Chain A
Amino acid sequence: MALSASTLKVGDTHTDVLVDNLTRTQIVQYAGVSGDYNPLHSDEVYATQAAGYPSVFAHGMLTMGITGKLLTDWVGDGRLTKFGVRFSTQVWPGDTLTGTATIAAIREEAGQWFADLTVETVNHDGKAVVSGTATARLDA
Chain B
Amino acid sequence: MTIECFPVEAGHIMMFARAIGDPNPVYSDPSCAAAQALGGVIAPPTFVVGGSQFDDEVAVRPKIGQPWFGSGRTPSGFNRESAGILHAEQHFEYHRPLLAGEVLTTVFREGERWEKTNRSGGILKFEESVTEYRVKATGELVVTARMIKVMPPKPAGAAESKEA
Task: Determine if A94 is an interface residue (Cβ-Cβ < 8 Å).
Answer: no
Expressed in whole angstroms, the Cα–Cα distance for A89 and B157 within the complex equals 9
CB-based contact A82/B91 at 8 Å:
yes
Contact with B along A12-52 (1 / 0, CB 8 A): 00000011000000100110111111111011011001111
The A-contacting residues of B in range 2-44, CB under 8 angstroms, are 12, 15-16, 18-22, 24, 26, 34, 38, 42, 44
CB-based contact B159/A34 at 8 Å:
no
The A-contacting residues of B in range 63-104, CB under 8 angstroms, are 68-71, 75-76, 82, 86-94, 96-97
Write the nearest CB–CB distance from A14 to chain B, whole angstroms.
Answer: 15
CB neighbours of A52 from chain B (8 A): 156
Pair count A-B, CB < 8 A: 161
Of B24, B52, B71, B87, the contact of A34 (CB 8 Å cutoff): B52
Of B21, B38, B75, B88, the contact of A45 (CB 8 Å cutoff): B75
Write the nearest CB–CB distance from A101 to chain B, whole angstroms.
Answer: 13
Write the nearest CB–CB distance from A66 to chain B, whole angstroms.
Answer: 5
CB-based contact B52/A77 at 8 Å:
no
Expressed in whole angstroms, the Cα–Cα distance for A37 and B58 within the complex equals 10
CB neighbours of B69 from chain A (8 A): 39, 46
Expressed in whole angstroms, the Cα–Cα distance for A60 and B89 within the complex equals 9
CB neighbours of A38 from chain B (8 A): 60, 161-163
Task: Determine if B158 is an interface residue (Cβ-Cβ < 8 Å).
Answer: yes
Task: Determine if B154 is an interface residue (Cβ-Cβ < 8 Å).
Answer: no
CB neighbours of B53 from chain A (8 A): 34-35
Given contacts A61-B46, A61-B49, contact A26 B21 (CB under 8 A): yes
Expressed in whole angstroms, the Cα–Cα distance for A134 and B81 within the complex equals 36
Expressed in whole angstroms, the Cα–Cα distance for A81 and B141 within the complex equals 13
Number of A positions contacting B (CB below 8 A):
51
Expressed in whole angstroms, the Cα–Cα distance for A40 and B53 within the complex equals 18
Of A45, A53, A81, A87, the contact of B87 (CB 8 Å cutoff): A87
Task: Determine if B45 is an interface residue (Cβ-Cβ < 8 Å).
Answer: yes
Task: Determine if A106 is an interface residue (Cβ-Cβ < 8 Å).
Answer: no
Q: Which residues of A contact B (CB under 8 A)?
A: 1, 18-19, 26, 29-30, 32-40, 42-43, 45-46, 49-53, 57, 59-62, 64-66, 68-69, 71-73, 77-78, 80-90, 132
16 sample A-B contacts, Cβ–Cβ < 8 Å, listed by A number: A33-B16, A36-B61, A38-B162, A43-B70, A46-B76, A50-B75, A53-B156, A60-B87, A61-B49, A65-B19, A68-B45, A72-B45, A78-B96, A83-B91, A88-B159, A90-B160
